Amino acid sequence: MDVLGHYDHGDTIASHETAPRFERQGTVALVGAGPGDPDLLTVKAQRLIDAADVVLYDELVSDAILALLPAAAERIPVGKLKGRHRRTQDEINQALVDHARRGRRVVRLKGGDPSLFARAGEELDFLRRHGYEPAIVPGITAALGCAAAIGMPLTDRRSSSSVTIVTGQAREGEPAIDWRRHAGQRRTLVVYMGRDNAAAIVDGLVAGGQDARTPVAVIANGTREDQRVATGTLAELPALAQRHDERAPALIVIGDVVRLSTAWAPAEPAWTAAW
Ligand SMILES: C[S@@+](CC[C@H](N)C(=O)[O-])C[C@H]1O[C@@H](n2cnc3c(N)ncnc32)[C@H](O)[C@@H]1O
């Protein structure tokens, strides 16, 4: 079995955890770090992190999680900061393969869940083309972490029977998102990376028939010690979105479930809130 040709799912995953069977050629794992609270790291993520020789991490990975990295592991920040790319995706892909080829246990640590808005597909493509089948370790995505952190379910049989998770940013060169098609009653809309497009989101949803009084929450630094939450109506979203530090990751939740959150501060007492 040659170094680049090794391509066995089960064995590769096992080797990451139990070393040193394939030590010579290394292993790669795409690991979800969750939204920031270190207690939300999965046991498997912690186990792979503890065994890692090198960790390439996003800017979304919180300081509290970084503090858990083993002292012996090499740490490589590869965050793509807003407007300023520290590493291109191509460079990250290549670095994963290069480190693995040196026989290292490589952890690619991503904020939240690695399969949601985290470019895991491109990394998987590249790694597979180079003979690596990475383990994927799910993490708690921002939507779930933030909802729990403000005491809110994402569905509620009285007011919401589905959740839509959507990015607030269209890809460069692609048409703007048509928010009208995301309008709807009895559902929850969760928008990642939407803060800069808050006005367009409101305009589109209202044009699509969404009530401008629909409750919304903007959660910044969700689950972290510096978590901030602003709640109000859909019409107020652009102003709510401005309340937080623009560098903090922020999530927008739109729907009646927001009334159930501990952060909901309606003008009228909660028991009169209309479902
Ligand atoms: C590139 S996406 C990555 C999503 C991540 N893979 C996940 O599953 O949560 C980055 C966006 O996720 C959201 N996000 C991630 N962590 C967050 C947190 N702790 N609080 C609020 N929003 C967060 C924000 O909308 C942020 O702009």
Tens-digit pLDDT profile for residues 7-39: 333 344 444 454 444 445 899 999 999 999 999
Name the residue range of residue 240's domain.
142-272
Q: Look at residue 8 in the predicted model and tell me its pLDDT.
A: 38
Integer Cα distance of 114 and 219 in angstroms = 20
Tell me what pLDDT residue 4 has: 31
Choose which residue among 37, 40, 41, 60 to substitute to test ligand 1 binding: the one with the highest number of ligand atoms within 8 A of its C-beta.
60
Closest CA to 196 of 147, 248, 233, 144: 248
Task: Report how far ligand 1's centroid is from the alpha carbon of 251 (Å).
Answer: 7
Q: Are residues 130 and 190 in the same domain?
A: no
Question: Is residue 268 in some structural domain?
Answer: yes
Asked whether residue 141 carries a pLDDT value surpassing 60, the answer given is yes
- Please name the residue that has the structure tokens 């904020």: 111
72 and 173, same domain (yes or no): no
Which atom of ligand 1 is the closest one to the Cα of 115?
6
Report the CATH number that the domain containing residue 167 is assigned in CATH: 3.30.950.10
Q: Domain check: are 229 and 190 in the same one?
A: yes
Cα separation values, 42 from 104, 154, 205, Å: 22, 21, 36
Task: Tell me, yes or no, if the pTM score tops 0.85.
Answer: yes
Q: Kindly state whether residues 147 and 230 are assigned to the same domain.
A: yes
Q: Which of 37, 53, 58, 256 is catalytic?
A: 58
Q: Which of 75, 110, 137 is the last residue of a domain?
A: 137
Number of domains in the chain: 2
- pLDDT band at residue 265 under the 50/70/90 scheme: confident
212 and 201 in contact (C-beta within 8 Å)? no
146 and 129, same structural domain? no
1 lies in some domain: no
118 lines ligand 1 (CB under 6 A): yes
Q: Which amino acid is at 152?
A: M
83: pLDDT strictly greater than 70: no
Query: Which of 137, 167, 187 lies at the terminal end of a domain, its last residue?
Result: 137
**Which residue CA neighbors atom 20 of ligand 1 most closely?**
222
Question: Is 255 among the domain residues?
Answer: yes
